[in-house]
Amino acid sequence: MTTLQAEIAFDASGHTGARRRWWRTPDQLVEEVELITGLLSSPADLVVNFAPTKHLFGHLFGDVLPRHRNIPVVQAHEAGIDRVPTSPVGAHVLLVCLPSTWAHLRRAHSAFA
């Protein structure tokens, strides 16, 4: 028997096109995280999330991934962090950013200049 799951709505701002609403079930979110993280060259040890968790990518990689894989996460967008935090040497850090974040980080952090 299949259990119906409530869908979660995510709204795209329309920055790169028309505004759009995306719907996902919790199982779909986990499957999407697994699919995309399977393409990474190594598993993440830490997530630094500059994308709001109401945004699909911010939710996938700043909420679902850390909970699903028990990975620490820094919610940089909530903490007002404007620089990439220092991480342990050798750590595999996943930066989660929207396109607008990169320009901000480039100005604030010399490693991106």
Q: Cβ distance 84 to 50 under 8 Å?
A: no
- In tens, the pLDDT along 16-25 reads 778 888 899 9
- The CA distance from 59 to 52, in Å, is 7
Phi, psi (deg, nearest 5) at residue 109: -135, 120
Residue 92 has pLDDT above 70, yes or no: yes
Indicate whether 28 pLDDT > 90.
yes
Q: What digits encode the pLDDT tens for the residues 29-67?
A: 999 999 999 998 889 999 999 999 988 989 999 999 999
Contacts (Cβ under 8 Å, ≥6 apart) of 94:
40, 44, 46, 47, 48, 61, 65
pLDDT at 71: 94
